[in-house]
């Protein structure tokens, strides 16, 4: 009979996730499952509400990536108000939204790398957990810790001036935006006192990429062999194949780089993507319909985006992209921990995009909203920090929302996260009767690479701890590790 290891959370998280690792009679890992209890009530909650409330309402989902939900909802409603998809907005409307979005990407990626990932790299994944955190980084690498804090702060300032305020921003409205960027706001972001200006942010983002490359050269075997498995990859790309995190067509490639979803209009996403329900998890498993459940699952997020796009349209990030792609001879990269490398290249790209946008005089113009003929259905997609985010709404003649479907990035990465946990568990836990701290952290590193946001996928209020439970072949708990 199989044995089982379970990892589950404890605190005020209402929805929850856990990992169970089943061991066979020889104590080898037979099966792993990452269970996440997803709270789907939100899609019901918005039904009956006026559609124009959606971009603000969806921020109630959680406070972690409210900008991504705000913009994805606004993009769906652009279609409903007849403003078209993506490029139907006024230049000021579209560019203000892009600035907001790249601010969100910048602060989120900075937070993830400096706050969550760098402790493992700088201090060692098997280091004492009491120091393996950003505080440990602050003690041992104060310059890096300071950069992480201030990059995050800078990104938050970009969001505040574009969304209007930090909480429940109202910047994006159906058909456009409700404010432009004043000269004073622009200059603060463009040439504020050191270090809070865009040139310093680009410099720091570039050195973060260099930091990872240096780390990689010294730890190549660990990084490459940590969790490697082939998969499909999906994201938006610009029509010419460039990376575009705000808008584009939907592209998927397989593990060898062959296009398996060829730049389709995301308004028809439901023709291409299906969500599977499995009895042991409330979080669904999306897959490409034409390939089926077994072969159609895909990754989203930084690793996927650098696998689907043909180039990055900013010079410094493009140069780093070429170095990154050379590592896999131009083929898709399926190394789980290279997600961090990809994320940092996107961090650099986001900083470059912010500078380009700040220098664009369209941001000071006053033509903010586009109007058209009302439609009854709209889909909005955006490349959120963690991956592709889908918002789909239908309304009735009274302007009330009658259907909402959200596929959040973490849900898209459900199967890849399960695959990563399986890979690491087989490598680290086979033949073990107890769960050591390095073993537990290895599982966490595998999940953390995807930067999952359980708040979006569940009913959580922000905290996401993880526990491990080991159960023997007779169903008895033989170890329980609670974080």
Partner 1 sequence: MKKILVYGYGNPGRQDDGLGARFIELIDDWIAGEKIQNIDTDTNYQLNVEDAATIADYDVVVFVDASVADIEDYKLEKVVPDNATIEFTMHAVSVAYVLDLCQKIYHKHPETFVLHIKAYEFEFIEELTAKAEKNHYAAFEFLKRFIQQT
Under the criterion CB under 8 A, does residue 389 sit at the interface with partner 1? no
Identify the bridge partners of residue 253 per DSSP, sorted by sequence position. 233, 259
Under the criterion CB under 8 A, does residue 448 sit at the interface with partner 1? yes
Q: What is the nearest approach in angstroms of partner 1 to the Cβ of residue 405?
A: 17
Strands 249-253 and 232-237: antiparallel
Nearer to partner 1, 129 or 192 (CB): 129
Nearer to partner 1, 134 or 173 (CB): 134
Positive or negative, the CA dihedral 280, 286, 291, 292 is positive
Under the criterion CB under 8 A, does residue 391 sit at the interface with partner 1? no
Under the criterion CB under 8 A, does residue 193 sit at the interface with partner 1? no
Binders in 152-181 for partner 1, by CB under 8 A: 152-153, 156, 166-168
Give, as one character, the DSSP assignment of residue 60: G
Under the criterion CB under 8 A, does residue 453 sit at the interface with partner 1? yes
CA distances from 319 to 206, 242, 326 (A): 11, 14, 11
Under the criterion CB under 8 A, does residue 346 sit at the interface with partner 1? no
Nearer to partner 1, 1 or 139 (CB): 139
Strands 298-299 and 232-237: parallel
Cβ–Cβ under 8 Å, residues 78 and 175? yes
CA 476, CA 186: separation in Å to the nearest integer?
61
Binding residue (CB under 8 A) for partner 1 from 31, 82, 84, 146? 146
Cβ–Cβ under 8 Å, residues 78 and 378? yes
CA 48, CA 152: separation in Å to the nearest integer?
37
Q: How many residues bind partner 1 (CB under 8 A)?
A: 53
Three-state SS for 245? coil
Binding residue (CB under 8 A) for partner 1 from 105, 145, 158, 342? 145
Which among 141, 337, 71, 363 has a CA at the least distance from the CA of 222?
A: 337
Binding residue (CB under 8 A) for partner 1 from 2, 27, 149, 402? 149
CB-based contacts of 60: which residues, under 8 Å, 6+ apart? 42
Binding residue (CB under 8 A) for partner 1 from 86, 148, 174, 302? 148
**By CB under 8 A, which span of 136-144, 178-186, 218-226, 275-283 interacts with partner 1?**
136-144
Instruction: Enumerate binding residues for partner 1 (CB under 8 A).
Output: 12, 41-42, 45, 57, 59-60, 62-64, 66, 107, 111, 114-116, 119, 129-135, 138-139, 142, 145-146, 148-150, 152-153, 156, 166-168, 444, 447-448, 451-455, 461-466, 483
């Amino acid at each position: 009979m199989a044995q089982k290891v379970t990892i589950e959370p404890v605190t005020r998280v209402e929805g929850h996730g856990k990992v169970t690792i089943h061991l066979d009679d020889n104590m080898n890992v037979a099966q792993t499952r990452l269970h996440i209890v997803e709270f789907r009530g939100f899609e019901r909650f918005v039904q009956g509400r006026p559609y124009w409330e959606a971009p603000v309402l969806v921020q109630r989902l959680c406070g972690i990536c409210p900008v991504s939900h705000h913009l994805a909802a606004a993009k769906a409603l652009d279609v409903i108000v007849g403003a078209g998809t993506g490029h139907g907005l006024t230049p000021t409307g579209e560019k203000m939204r892009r600035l907001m979005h790249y601010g969100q990407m910048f602060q989120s990626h900075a937070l993830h790398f400096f706050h969550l990932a760098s402790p493992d790299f700088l201090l060692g994944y098997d280091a004492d957990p009491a120091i393996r955190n950003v505080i440990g980084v602050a003690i041992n690498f104060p310059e890096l810790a300071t950069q992480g804090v201030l990059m995050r702060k800078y990104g938050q300032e970009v969001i505040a001036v574009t969304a209007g305020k930090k909480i429940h921003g109202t910047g994006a409205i159906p058909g456009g935006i409700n404010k432009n960027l004043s000269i004073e706001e622009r200059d603060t972001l463009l040439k504020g006192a050191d270090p809070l200006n865009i040139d310093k942010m680009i410099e720091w983002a570039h050195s973060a990429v260099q930091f990872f490359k240096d780390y990689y050269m010294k730890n190549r075997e660990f990084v490459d062999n940590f969790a490697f498995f082939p998969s499909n990859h999906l994201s938006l790309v610009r029509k010419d194949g460039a990376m575009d995190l705000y808008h584009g067509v939907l592209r998927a490639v397989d593990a060898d780089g062959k296009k398996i979803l060829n730049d389709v209009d995301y308004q028809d996403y439901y023709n291409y993507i299906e969500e599977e329900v499995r009895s042991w998890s409330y979080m669904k498993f999306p897959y490409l319909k034409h390939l089926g459940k077994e072969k159609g699952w895909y990754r989203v997020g930084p690793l996927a985006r650098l696998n689907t796009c043909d180039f990055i349209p900013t010079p410094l990030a493009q140069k780093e992209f070429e170095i990154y792609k050379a590592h896999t001879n131009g083929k898709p990269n399926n190394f789980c921990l290279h997600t961090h490398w990809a994320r940092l290249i996107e961090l650099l790209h986001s900083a470059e995009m912010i500078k380009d946008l700040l220098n664009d005089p369209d941001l000071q113009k006053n033509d903010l909203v586009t109007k058209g003929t009302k439609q009854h259905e709209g889909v909005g997609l955006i490349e959120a920090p963690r991956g592709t985010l889908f918002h789909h709404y239908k309304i009735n003649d009274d302007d009330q929302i009658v259907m909402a479907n959200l596929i959040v990035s973490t849900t898209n990465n459900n199967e890849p996260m399960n695959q990563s946990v399986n890979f690491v568990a087989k490598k680290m836990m086979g033949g073990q009767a107890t769960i050591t701290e390095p073993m537990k952290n290895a599982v966490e590193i595998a999940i953390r690479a995807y930067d999952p946001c359980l708040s979006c996928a569940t009913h959580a209020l922000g905290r996401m701890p993880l526990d491990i439970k080991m159960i023997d072949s007779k169903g008895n708990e033989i170890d329980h590790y609670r974080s």
